[in-house]
Amino acid sequence: MPTAASVGLSRWHVASRVFAATIPAFILANTLSIALGFLVPGIKANGVAWATLLSYAIYTCLIMWIFSVKRLKTVWLSIVGGIVVTSGAAWLFYFLENRP
């Protein structure tokens, strides 16, 4: 069975994922939750409350996903892309909701 050392998996490789799982994944968990909150029907507070309660579950899933993907490049592209797309969507939803 291969070990970390035998396939040349450096400490930096692991550190990169640990970093991705702490700050960038946390940001993505927030932007994704914000976007999802707009999609929940009912009064505004309802969507915000559901999104907030689910945010930790979303964050946990992201962490697990980061440590299960084979290629580091996939991790970083998805996280950065995810933040851009979800914050864009959240901005769009907010704009649609608050247009005059």
Task: Say how many CA atoms lie within 13 Å of 73 toward its Cβ.
Answer: 0
Closest of 83, 69, 67 to residue 27, by C-alpha? 83
Least distance between other proteins and beta carbon 73 (Å): 13
Closest of 100, 54, 58, 49 to residue 79, by C-alpha? 58
Residue 15, interface with other proteins (CB under 8 A)? no
- The correct pick among 23, 77, 81, 94 for binding other proteins (CB under 8 A) is 94
**Site size for other proteins, by CB under 8 A?**
40
Tokens of 74: 């996939």
| Residues 27-86 within binding reach of other proteins (CB under 8 A) | 30, 33-34, 37-38, 42-53, 55-57, 59-60, 63-64, 67-70
Question: Toward other proteins, which CB reaches closer, 1 or 73?
Answer: 1
Q: How far apart are CA 88 and CA 95, in angstroms?
A: 10
Task: Say how many CA atoms lie within 13 Å of 90 toward its Cβ.
Answer: 19
Return residues touching other proteins (CB under 8 A): 1-5, 7, 9, 14, 17, 30, 33-34, 37-38, 42-53, 55-57, 59-60, 63-64, 67-70, 90, 94, 98
